[in-house]
């Protein structure tokens, strides 16, 4: 028996087999969860569909996180197929690429709105829509990054959005806790996903991690998936409102020097 046998999970944010959401999906599947997926647009549908089939999923629904109507329609399909929802995984973010380089001061009003809408508010919107079908001990998981707490050059408005997302995790955990529903975030070290590959210099950042993190290695989507299993299973029953670092220890270093 897996740790998640009989649990039904919706995964938001698979783009391809490098996605953190895909690492989480595989780990949840391994532990016996039944999975559903959302995708954004036809281009990603062609990527997500074959992956969903690999983990025996037949619930694949479109969902633009910028649209309350699409979120509502997606949750209607989840209700029709699953009845109840035990696990909700949110692993999506968006900022304009030209605001993920150079100075934070260059952030536009529209860029700020967009980044906070898609990267932070969307968690609240998803939970609102899923609320009527959450099971009694449901678990919600989102993804964040340490650029919310300390300055990471070029992360800029996305760091501000992640700070809002992390604060949302605490307020949502307080709202849903009385019903036994938990809300947590994983703060992952840098991983070469589709989103990250659009960032110039990300390869050097990931390479540096291998030299300066306490574990002397990069973080994988499997590392994230395994922590997701803990937080989403009954093993995590006392944990809510937390930001759990899966970063090979990178964030504890005040001074990080290669080869020391």
The footprint of ligand 0WE (CB under 6 A) covers 93-95, 97, 100, 145, 152, 154-155, 158, 190, 195-196, 198-199, 202, 205
* Closest distance of CB 220 from ligand 0WE, Å: 15
Task: Report whether 69 contacts 37 (CB < 8 A).
Answer: no
Please identify, using beta-carbon distances, which residue of 88 and 143 lies nearer to ligand 0WE. Answer: 143
Return the number of other C-beta atoms located less than 10 Å from residue 227's C-beta. Answer: 20
* Closest distance of CB 191 from ligand 0WE, Å: 8
Which residues are annotated as catalytic? Answer: 145, 155
Please identify, using beta-carbon distances, which residue of 57 and 119 lies nearer to ligand 0WE. Answer: 119
Q: Select from 231, 111, 93, 57 the least CA-distant residue to 165.
A: 93
Query: Looking up tokens 């690999």, which residue turns up?
Result: 54
Please identify, using beta-carbon distances, which residue of 64 and 175 lies nearer to ligand 0WE. Answer: 64
- Using CA atoms, how far apart are residues 230 and 220, in angstroms rounded to an integer? 16
* Closest distance of CB 116 from ligand 0WE, Å: 12
Helix (H, G, I), strand (E, B), or coil: what is residue 213? coil
Task: Report whether 223 contacts 50 (CB < 8 A).
Answer: no
């Amino acid at each position: 028996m897996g740790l998640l046998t009989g649990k039904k999970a919706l995964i938001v944010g698979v783009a391809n087999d490098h996605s953190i959401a895909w690492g989480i999906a595989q780990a949840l599947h391994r532990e016996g969860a039944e999975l559903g997926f959302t995708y954004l647009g036809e281009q990603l549908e062609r990527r997500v569909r074959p992956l969903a089939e690999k983990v025996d999923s037949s619930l694949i629904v479109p969902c633009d996180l910028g649209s309350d109507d699409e979120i509502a329609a997606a949750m209607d399909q989840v209700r029709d197929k699953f009845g109840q929802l035990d696990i909700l995984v949110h692993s999506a973010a968006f900022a304009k690429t030209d605001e993920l380089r150079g100075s934070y001061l260059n952030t536009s009003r529209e860029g700020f709105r967009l980044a906070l809408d898609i990267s932070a508010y969307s968690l609240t919107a998803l939970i609102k829509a899923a609320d009527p079908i959450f099971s009694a001990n449901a678990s919600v998981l989102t993804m964040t990054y340490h650029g919310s707490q300390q300055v990471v050059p070029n992360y800029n408005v996305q760091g501000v959005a992640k700070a809002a997302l992390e604060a949302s995790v605490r307020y949502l955990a307080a709202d849903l806790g009385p019903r036994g529903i938990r809300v947590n975030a994983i703060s992952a070290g840098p991983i070469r996903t589709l989103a990250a590959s659009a960032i110039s210099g990300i390869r050097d950042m990931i390479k540096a991690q291998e030299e300066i993190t306490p574990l002397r290695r990069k973080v994988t989507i499997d590392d994230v998936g395994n922590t997701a299993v803990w937080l989403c299973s009954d093993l995590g029953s006392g944990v809510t409102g937390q930001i759990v670092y899966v970063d090979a220890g990178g964030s504890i270093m005040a001074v990080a020097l290669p080869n020391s």
